[in-house]
Chains A and B, each alone.
Chain A
Amino acid sequence: MRDGSSTHSDGGGQEMAGGRTTRREIVKRAGVGTILVVYGGALPKTAASGVPKYRTRELAGTLKIIQWSHFVPAYDKWFDNVYIKRWGQANDTEVIVDHINQADIPARAAAEVAAQSGHDIFFFLTPPAAYEDQVIDHAEIVQEVTKKRGKIKPVAFKSTYNQKTKKYFAFSDNYAPDPCNYRTDLWGEVGLKPTSWDNVLKAAPKLRAMGHPIGIGMSNEIDSNVALSALMMCFGSFIQNKEQRVVLNSKATVNVLKFARELYRQGMSNEIFAWTAASNNQAMLAGRLSMAMNAISITRSAELINPDLASKIELLPIPRGPNGRLGLEHVMGAYVVWKFAKNKPMAQKFLADLEIKYIGAFENSKFYNFPSWPASVPNIARRVERDAVAKPSGKYKILAEIADKYTLNPGWPGNTNAAIDEIFQKFLIPQMFAEVAQDRRTPEEAAKIYDRSFRGIFQKWRNLGKI
């Protein structure tokens, strides 16, 4: 500095001089200012926030949840803006919930596990048995809810409990029953109802000739997995037995593959090989399909978009097969708390509280989310029967019956395990059906080859001590 009052010099400029600001200081402050602006604007998650909203936030901290974008937007609004806020205030915890497309759940989970960092609570739509080593034992949450709400539904128990390791690898808050959606006007013309798979096969050629085929996907997507696995069970074909031994290669499997091939040849279109999770809905809403196995998102969407069409879509339990009516859940809501979660105690409390008072979730999901502890929502049957929007009225009454009698876990009669999870994630069931339907393999060959492939997968997980 030229006035000689500088404290020190480095030859290139001065730091401070007599309370005046030097060029260097201006540059430094501008730099800090820029960082703060960018920090506060571009990086909102780390920006210094305003006054804390929670009195003792430092005690309980923050809870981060990630879950799918629910097909009912109102559910997310209720969950994000009402439920978690109320729960957060009551528990001095800031709850942050992020949403993800259902198809990206596996990739996101893999990324969080790879990074050993992410959300405290992660939501899956199928039982995530393969992640058993990455999650806490959820037994405490199950016990807490059971203490208040009685027994867990068998489908939820078998979907989340590992028989071998005696560990709850997930906590199921809900599952969605999977009814048969069919067009009453079209089936009326044929003079049949899809009450049995025999009826479906009889009606299919006529329905297709009318321009309204049956829609059961044989593609790499979740709905195909569920519908075809349920079809297999109705014919007495199973991936595993109760002791978790592969039993795919059976006469029943050959029969169900033959049946599906016939159904495709006579009553479906080749669109089913490119089916996506949205295809059931879109094709039904476009008035193209005469029948699909799907949760109630079809009828709920139709009620909003096309009430006239909605009144022509009825719900039934899965059609009866030679082995009876054995259906699968459409989706199995399964939360996990990662081992690397930063706030495990609050995560466990959050899940227990959510399930104990599940009425809000049940109502706001428009009866999509059925509680894994039935006592969490009193009078389910009466509630679904009295749905105000249903046309004809009482349409959803059947859901309670489907939930009670015809909703089983993936891998039934055994529990869902890591091998079943892998088979589902790789969509091997739809691939087996597609290969037979397209005449790339005979039913006998397919049953044998896929049995061998499943045995390999089971052995891998057996070696890892998970089965």
Chain B
Amino acid sequence: MPLRRRDNLLTWLVVGPFAIVLAFPFYWMLQTSLKSELDLYNTENNPFAFGEGSPTLDNYRFLFGETQYGHWLLNTVLVGLVVVAITLAVSLPAGYALARLSGRWGQTLGVGLFLVYLVPPTLLFLPLSRVVAEVGLQDRLAALILVYPGFTIPFATWLLMGFFKSIPRELEDAALVDGASRLRTLFWIVFPISLPGILTVVIFTFSLCMNEFIYAIAFITSSDSKVVSTGIYTELIRGDVFYWGALMAATLIPAIPLALLYNTFLDRFIAGFTGGAFR
């Protein structure tokens, strides 16, 4: 067997099982979302095949026709984008300052910031409820926009700090010697090189916002202001009855673009996370 072919085969043997394991939840969600209730609950049916009344688009019809799912998706995207913008606006200068300007205190401050990220929301949601009520943001998306940066900024700053450290200081020195200001150097030299780190922050922050649950459930209860993570949980689980088909459809729909996004920027994402690892 030629060496190249053997390498390919070996790669597939190693990667193949991983790919199957990781793709399985998506397959399961898709299949369940296309099944009728009767088929789903019949334990004698082959779970990997379609049974009576399946495949059907009923679950998707129910989701878009009987719930405010479209609204929840839009709310999620809106909150995600605004929080990403706020996070970048704060963590880019903060990460740079901690990496370059604050000397040996930078590292300590960076670790301190990261520790803030580790405080669990289950501990914070009660006092934050008071804050949200005081500023009159209960039941408004702005409550999430206010609170989410509290955990996205520390992580993003810490990540970017590591990334900025991996950029050779000589590049900036050269620009400064050529007469560029610190700000100009930052925008024209540092940020373009840091694109993998910035993309990582964008994707990761957006994912964090999509996945967040505790604050969203505690601060927002009106149907039209819910985000996906809480909307499907509160309106597709009614008492002790689960709408499994619709639940799977509802989780699959936002998962696909996010998975594609991760996949498209995979190399940069890895570079972003490992950027500061060797400094």
Query: Interface of A with B (CB < 8 Å)?
Result: 42-46, 66, 68-73, 76, 96, 98-102, 104, 107-108, 110-112, 114-119, 223, 277-278, 280-282, 285-288, 294, 297, 301, 304-306
Contact = CB atoms under 8 A, between A and B. Distances in A.
B76 to A, nearest CB: 12
A45 B139 contact: yes
B38 to A, nearest CB: 6
B141 interface: yes
Nearest to B218: A111
A215 B214 CA distance: 31
A115 B237 contact: no
Nearest to A302: B41
Contacts of B139: 45, 98
Contacts of A100: 217, 221, 234
B123 interface: no
A70 B238 contact: yes
Interface of B: 37-38, 41-43, 66, 78, 82, 125-127, 129-130, 132-134, 136, 138-142, 145, 214, 217-219, 221-225, 233-235, 237-242
Contacts of B78: 42
Contacts of A98: 139, 221-223
Given A45-B225, A114-B130, A286-B43, 16 more contacts: A43-B142, A44-B140, A69-B235, A69-B238, A71-B239, A72-B238, A100-B234, A104-B233, A107-B214, A107-B217, A108-B218, A110-B126, A115-B129, A117-B138, A285-B41, A306-B38
Contacts of B37: 304-306
A165 B214 CA distance: 35
Given A99-B223, A100-B234, A287-B42, A108 B240 contact: no
Contacts of A69: 234-235, 237-239
Contacts of B140: 43-46
Contacts of A42: 78, 82, 141-142, 145
B contact patch SS: helix
21 contacts: A42-B145, A45-B225, A73-B66, A73-B238, A96-B222, A99-B234, A100-B217, A104-B233, A108-B217, A111-B129, A115-B129, A116-B130, A119-B221, A223-B240, A278-B237, A278-B242, A281-B240, A282-B242, A287-B42, A288-B43, A306-B38
A285 B42 CA distance: 8
A277 B221 contact: no
Contacts of A102: 239-240
A278 B129 contact: no
Contacts of A286: 41-43
A301 B133 CA distance: 39
Given A42-B78, A281-B241, A297-B241, A66 B221 contact: yes
Nearest to A39: B142
A287 B38 CA distance: 11
Nearest to A298: B240
A118 to B, nearest CB: 7
A102 B235 CA distance: 11
A225 to B, nearest CB: 13
Contacts of A72: 238
A277 B129 CA distance: 27
B38 A115 contact: no
A287 B218 contact: no
B248 to A, nearest CB: 15
Given A45-B140, A73-B66, A115 B41 contact: no
Contacts of A66: 221
Contacts of B237: 69, 101, 278
Contacts of A68: 239
Contacts of B130: 114-116
Interface centre among A69, A71, A118, A280 (most CB of B within 10 A): A69
Given A43-B141, A44-B225, A287-B42, A107 B218 contact: yes
Contacts of A99: 221, 223, 234-235
Contacts of B126: 110-111, 114
Contacts of B234: 69, 99-101, 104
A278 B43 contact: no
A427 B273 CA distance: 43
Contacts of A277: 239-240
A107 B123 CA distance: 12
Nearest to B244: A282
A104 B141 contact: no
Contacts of A44: 140, 224-225
A231 to B, nearest CB: 19
A112 B129 contact: yes
A287 B37 CA distance: 13
Contact of B133 (A70, A73, A117, A278): A117
Contacts of B43: 286-288
